[in-house]
Structure 1
Amino acid sequence: MRAPNGLRFDANLKWLFTEVPFEERFDAAAAAGFTGVEYADPYPYPAARLRGRLTDAGLHQVLINTPVGEPGSPRRAGSACLPGDAVRFRADLERGLDHAVELGSDFLHVVGGVRPPDVSHDLAFATLVGNLAWAVERARGTGVCLVVEAQNSRDVPGFLLDTQARAAAVVDALGGDGIGLLLDIYHVQVQEGDLVPTLREQRSRVRHIQIADPPDRTEPGSGEISWPRVFGTLLDASYPGWIGCEYRPAHGTVEGLSWLTELTAVADTAGEESR
């Protein structure tokens, strides 16, 4: 979906259109005007079946996540940073990459993982970088770009990549070829704040953006963020990518989409004024 100012938004089908079963959300997103979708967990469904839903609805797959373990398990946020778990990591990466290729997904989010209490940060970080170095080579030539994301420690206690600087350090350690940042504005605001300087600092590394408004992770305009300033900053930076709507609608998905016109129209003006 193109906003009035040209920014491009996709629907996260884990969070939006939950009024209908998952497989019906593709048509619901298309009917609402979206042309791209993302979701974390395609794995309960055969990839070919989801590909058919995308085709039938005229949608593009933007992003999926790598598989993660059961809630409460050490792998609940993935195995990428877990020492001694390389076999599982590679199997999960292969599965994720197979789905991403079949779906025509632009991005595969390699979930960084929760650091076990008995593992040092340095060891967990080195494990993550080593696993991702293999993953980048494995994904080369597939057309799928890998991304990593920082997640706030309130929602995901113990997540290894808990700041943008730590996530950026992973990208820099791997040279930024075939891998980049998934910058989630909700996580940035909850963990660190300082949104506009962070967007400017990380712009060269960012491949995908996700949005929600704290404190309740609802749609833009329902919380504490100045979205015209955020969107204006992205316009100033000539951000060309997708922006994933990964929020919990406060009062229904379609009813809450008015922000797409209201806030992005204002953002266009804000962007012009700041130039």
Structure 2
Amino acid sequence: MKLAANLSLLYPGLPLARRIEEAARDGFAGAEILFPYDLPPAELAMLLQAQGMALVLVNTPPGREGEKGLACLPGREADFDAALAQALDVCRATGCRSIHVMAGRPPEGAARTDCQATLVGNLQRAAPLAARDGITLTLEALNRHDMPGYFYRLPEQAAQVIAQVGHPAVRLQFDFYHCQREGLDLDRALRAALPLVHHVQFAHPQGRHEPDPADPAVAQALRTLADSGYAGWIGCEYLPRADTRAGLAWREAYQAAVAGRA
């Protein structure tokens, strides 16, 4: 279970090239970048390769200003296709193998059944394109406090969509932070989701700062994940309280939790 630095949040105030350098210096082998669309994909690939850094997750572009994704929006299928194409271009250039498909917020007045049908149809069209390049599309439930109105807020809701899509290239992105913000029993939610989990993220539920692997609920879930044989990435998607490097002491507690010593 390797840790990936979320370079959209960590090392704030630095240009992306410096963030990649600092993350590599701090021992991260992988990086998440939420929306890596300001640089040409080939240039981004060179920056990562120069530091021996793997790009492990990107998001699809969120859409117009204020939008939080396109995949569930009826009548916006062409926009979704264009957004997916952007993400696939980045993945092909960098070797990234995971794309978080942002479902978005249903438009005012839209029936949820219509939005779900749109989401499923978009994913059924997108999955074979991603699979052709060995790329997995992930769905992530986002908590209602940070992302009010988002199409799903619970992992089981995203799992229902995955079941409807019925393609092995569409799986679940499980985020400890969003589950804890929803007040879920973290270990129980993880155990229910494990067969679908492709990517994991975490942060402290208060303020979305450095994770606390010594917290009993988090430590138990990490052990469950390790015991399951999960060999993917855990994204460190948090807002540093102060200096990113100074805040990395939590990694000792992470190693202890994974080893069952917490």
Structure 1 length as normaliser, TM-score?
0.91
Corresponding pairs, count: 262
Aligned-residue RMSD, C-alpha: 1.7
Q: What is the CA distance between 1:82 and its match in structure 2?
A: 0.7
Match status 1:240 vs 2:231: yes
Match status 1:43 vs 2:37: yes
Q: Unmatched 5+ residue regions in structure 1?
A: 1-6
The sequence identity of aligned pairs, in percent, is 37
The 5-angstrom pairing of residues 42-81 of structure 1 reads 42-72=36-66, 76-81=67-72
The 5-angstrom pairing of residues 138-149 of structure 1 reads 138-149=129-140
Task: Provide Cα deviations, 1:203-244, integer angstroms capped at 9, x if missing partner.
Answer: 110000011111210111299773322211111212110000
Are the equivalent residues in 1 in contact too, given 2:139–2:173 (CA < 8 A)?
yes
Structure 2 distance, partners of 1:211, 1:182, is 11
Match status 1:168 vs 2:159: yes
Instruction: Go from structure 1 to structure 2 and tell me whether the alpha carbon gap of 1:38 and 1:225 turns closer, same or farther (over 3 Å shift).
Output: farther
Structure 2 distance, partners of 1:142, 1:135, is 12
Are the equivalent residues in 2 in contact too, given 1:11–1:34 (CA < 8 A)?
yes
The 5-angstrom pairing of residues 220-259 of structure 1 reads 220-221=211-212, 226-259=217-250
Question: Counterpart in 2 of 1:91?
Answer: 82
Q: Which moved more, 1:215-224 or 1:183-192?
A: 215-224
Match status 1:206 vs 2:200: no
Structure 2 length as normaliser, TM-score?
0.95
Q: What is the CA distance between 1:88 and its match in structure 2?
A: 0.8
Task: Provide Cα deviations, 1:151-178, integer angstroms capped at 9, x if missing partner.
Answer: 0111111100211111001111122411
Q: What is the CA distance between 1:192 and its match in structure 2?
A: 4.0
Structure 2 distance, partners of 1:140, 1:62, is 16
The one of 109, 119, 138 aligned to 1:118: 109
Opposite residue 208 of structure 2, the aligned amino acid is R
Question: Counterpart in 2 of 1:18?
Answer: 12
Q: Unmatched 5+ residue regions in structure 2?
A: none
Instruction: Go from structure 1 to structure 2 and tell me whether the alpha carbon gap of 1:199 and 1:20 turns closer, same or farther (over 3 Å shift).
Output: same
Structure 2 distance, partners of 1:225, 1:25, is 31
Are the equivalent residues in 2 in contact too, given 1:214–1:224 (CA < 8 A)?
no
